[in-house]
Amino acid sequence: MRPARGLYQFAEAVPDARRSIAEASALVPKGVICLTSALEFHDLTLHMPSAIWMAIDRTAWKPKVDYPPIRFVRFSGRVLAEGIKRHRIEGVDVPVFEPAKTIVDCFRYRNKIGLDIALEGLREGLRKRRARPDQLWKFAQSGRAWSVMRPYVEAMVPDGA
**pTM for this entry:** 0.87
pLDDT at residue 117, rounded to an integer:
97
Confidence of residue 30 (pLDDT cuts 50, 70, 90): very high
pLDDT of 11 above 70: no
Q: What is the pLDDT of residue 8?
A: 52
- pLDDT: is 80 or 14 the higher one? 80
Q: What is the pLDDT of residue 78?
A: 87
Question: Are the CB atoms for 141 and 132 separated by under 8 Å?
Answer: no
- Dist. CA 35–CA 54, nearest whole Å: 8
CA 135, 139, 141, 145 torsion-angle sign: negative
Q: Does residue 124 carry a pLDDT above 60?
A: yes
Question: With bands split at pLDDT 50, 70 and 90, how would you rate the model's confidence at 14?
Answer: very low
